[in-house]
Amino acid sequence: MEQLIASFREALESLDRVRADAIFRQALEMGTPIQAVERLVVPALEQMGAAWSDGTVALSQIYLGGQFCESLVESVLAPSDPDRKHQPRSAIVVLSDYHDLGKRIVYSVMRASGFEIFDYGRMDVDTLVERALADRVRVLMISVLMLPSALKVRDVCARLRERGSDAKVIVGGAPFLFDSQLWQEVGAYAMGKSAAQAVAIVERVMGEMQ
């Protein structure tokens, strides 16, 4: 399987969709669709995420690779498929600023990893808090590019607590990468350095909630 993962990752990074598709089909023949996702797609995306953090893979490769994986997984696991991971109830949002590439990437990678999550698009603090409470969200992923937006996460966390929510807020984006203490300062539960890390954190939360 290691060889297959390496080949799949290489195909994704070089945008060779035909080859990536063929490798995915090969993995499907070795087990169920969700097994193919967990054994092939998730590790490949995890490795790419780590490589982006190291500076050896580019954001364009993560974005386009994640989108393609999302479509592959969609073709074998419909949103209503019982094998999809619907719990914990999770949502993703761009807070306050207008840069949504990071959110798009995390959303794709989450869905390519078998999760179903709410996509809130772009929201300000008030709207986000009300929506997360109404949806009884247990995991809230917040993506930002700008420092002022990152600082507003503090308000989101405080307001959710005030209203009795125990939602875990996971943050990501440039300000958190450049200041490793910022996620704690704003009261987040965790910070994902890459989309794949976000998946790993949600998996961890799933384990804690069981």
Binding site for other proteins (CB under 8 A): 13, 15, 52, 55, 57-61, 63-64, 97-101, 104, 146-149, 151, 174-175, 177-179, 181-182, 185
CA dihedral 30, 206, 120, 123 (to 10 degrees): -140
Question: Cβ of residue 118: shortest distance to other proteins, in angstroms?
Answer: 19
Q: What is the DSSP letter of 115?
A: B
Question: Cβ of residue 48: shortest distance to other proteins, in angstroms?
Answer: 12
Question: Cβ of residue 167: shortest distance to other proteins, in angstroms?
Answer: 25
Question: Cβ of residue 111: shortest distance to other proteins, in angstroms?
Answer: 15
Nearest to 159 by CA among 148, 169, 150: 169
Question: Cβ of residue 23: shortest distance to other proteins, in angstroms?
Answer: 20
Alpha helices in the chain, H assignment, sequence order: 2-13, 17-28, 33-36, 42-54, 59-76, 101-112, 125-134, 147-162, 174-178, 182-185, 195-209
Q: CB nearer to other proteins: give 55 or 164.
A: 55
Q: CB nearer to other proteins: give 63 or 118.
A: 63
* Whole-Å CA distances, 148 to 107, 144, 145: 23, 9, 9
Q: CB nearer to other proteins: give 33 or 172.
A: 172
Provide the β-strand partners of residue 118: 91
Provide the β-strand partners of residue 94: 122, 143
